[in-house]
Amino acid sequence: MSAAHAPVVALSGGVGGAKLAHGLARTAPAGGLVVVANTGDDFEHLGLRICPDIDTLVYTLSDTADTTRGWGRADETWHFLEALERLGGPDWFRLGDRDLAMHVLRTERLRSGRLLSAVTRELATALGIDTPIVPMSDDPVRTILDTDEGLLDFQDYFVHRQCRPRVRAIEYRGARSARPSPPLAALLAGDVPCAAVLCPSNPHLSIDPILAVPDVRAWLERSTVRVVAVSPIVGGEALKGPAAKLLRELAGSSSALAIAEHYAGLLDILVIDEQDAHLAPRIEALGISVQVDDTVMRSIPDRDRLARRVLRCLA
């Protein structure tokens, strides 16, 4: 009897990750994909629980994401924020009027005792999303950055200080005692051969917090789990965000090879951009197979094409 088909498990955070997750959701067979979201960026703001990487996935997979800003919703208005600012409230973290509904409803349901994974499923379903979007944990994990401006919470570093401080170390506070969310735990407990995709997200800020949740890394290291990553670094730079800067500050260099080294021991395959084809031999010397493709996703068809390439790697 052929092994039951386990879904492909995609780990994602940020905009790049959401783009590939979107392509995978559009091209994978029904029930063939689960997306695990980073929650290390989550924080409390104005009494609301904000879950940026979950929301980027929910908006992207429901085709309601703002593609210019890279976060929040399209067709947004800012009356709440203007009124807040006039009252002397903090406007450094911009909450749009439509986006606010997501945070208010999530916060209210969490306060009533629901788990983040259950609330996320309800909200994603309300927006017509079939693909399960699963928080890495329902327990709090917070990315804290040790910088030359002191210890910074994630959003303080990322939004308030616009990633300018120099980072010396990163802590995923709470990860050691965090439990995988129930849907993720069910996947980790499965003994059917599986496949995992490390989406082109920031390795330090989006993927490593997920790997820090106990049992996740060990699951990916299983011989029965085939792991493919798409490099978020193209030509030494990130397409968006501080991934290249953090690699330089924490690993000494930024390249698709640095990505391979960062994930050494986990990867079976690394998909790199055509601009980095010359790095393939050095990546293969690490025991990682290399696929070279155009990995820059400028359109929905680009997302579908790259997703099909990734799924073919895993077939």
Q: Which residues bind ligand FO1 (CB under 6 A)?
A: 13-14, 41, 50, 52-53, 55-56, 71-72, 93-95, 99, 155, 158-159
CB of 38 to ligand FO1, least distance (A): 8
Shortest Å, Cβ 26 to ligand FO1: 21
Which two structure tokens, joined as six digits, stand for 298?
């400028």
Residues 6 or more apart in contact with residue 142 via CB below 8 angstroms: 40, 42, 43, 153, 154, 172, 173, 174
- Cβ 14 to ligand FO1 shortest distance, Å: 4
Least Cβ distance, residue 283 to ligand FO1 (angstroms): 26
- CA nearest to 192, candidates 32, 37, 312: 32
H or E segment to which residue 21 belongs = helix 14-27
Nearer to ligand FO1, 55 or 249 (CB): 55
- Residue 38 identity (one-letter amino acid): N
Distance CA 73, CA 66 (A): 5
Residue 195 in 3-state DSSP? strand
Strands 142-147 and 167-173: antiparallel
| C-alpha distance across the termini of the chain, in Å | 18
Min dist. Cβ of residue 268 to ligand FO1 (A):
26
Shorter beta-carbon distance to ligand FO1: residue 60 or 131:
60
Identity of the residue, 102 or 279, whose beta carbon is nearer to ligand FO1 in the bound complex = 102
To the nearest whole angstrom, how small is the minimum distance from the Cβ of residue 260 to ligand FO1?
Answer: 23
Nearer to ligand FO1, 158 or 263 (CB): 158
Q: Is the dihedral of CA 13, 15, 19, 20 positive or negative?
A: negative
Nearer to ligand FO1, 55 or 273 (CB): 55
* CA angle in degrees (0–180, nearest 5) for 212-223-202: 35
The residue among 50 and 194 lying less far from ligand FO1, judged by its C-beta, is 50
